[in-house]
Amino acid sequence: MINPPIALYYMQGLNTTAVHAHGALYGVYGTLGLGLMLFCLRAMKPNLIWKEKPIALAFWAINIGLMLEIVLSLLPVGLLQTYQSVANGYWSARSPEFLQTTLMQNLRWLRMIGDTVFAVGAIAFVYFALGLMLRRKARLEVPVPVPEQV
Ligand code: HEM
């Protein structure tokens, strides 16, 4: 959506950029970072039984939160700015007169819904990771299978 020259002519630096930046940067490198962290945690303590509820909550909340941030707030603001840019000129899409309208203010406040869901996911992830690192071994470890003597 943002890549063709004609789109960039009207849209560069509007909220459509933030849509792409949030979706791509978090979607690619944020999730990759979390995935690699889990991979390392698993390798550090291979016998520990994982509590899957917090990590499942983190997965869904982070992904749904990011989606809500984009769909409820960033994208609508970006599309309205694009319309404004095409209709009245790029300058007007970034002008305070346009950005401070009630509709725009409300759309920016809608970010809170996605942000909150995302934050719940982030907290669940930290809770899970800390729990894994601090948990006492004895109770929750799977016994290592001893290979049978032939
Ligand atoms: C790993 C994949 C990607 C990541 C993490 C990423 C990240 C970003 C970020 C953070 C920005 C905002 C930069 C700024 O305004 O300071 C941006 C802008 C941009 N990206 Fe990507 N991007 C990715 C892939 C792509 C791909 C595949 C395309 C096109 C096929 C693309 C096209 C653009 C364009 C055209 C802009 C400028 C948009 C504007 O200023 O309005 N990006 N990207």
Can you list the residues of the chain whose pLDDT is less than 50?
138
Quick one: pLDDT at residue 35?
A: 95
Within 13 A of 141's CA, how many CA atoms are on the CB side? 13
pTM (predicted TM-score): 0.85
Ligand 1 probe mutation, 8, 10, 17, most atoms within 8 A of CB: 17
> What pLDDT score does 142 carry?
62
Ligand 1 atom with minimal separation from the 14 CA = 41
Can you give the pLDDT at residue 48?
86
User: Based on the number of CB atoms within 10 Å of its own CB, is 79 exposed (0-12), middle (13-18) or buried (19 or more)?
Assistant: middle
The pLDDT score that the predictor gives to residue 1 is 83
Q: Using CA positions, which residue lies closest to atom 33 of ligand 1?
A: 3
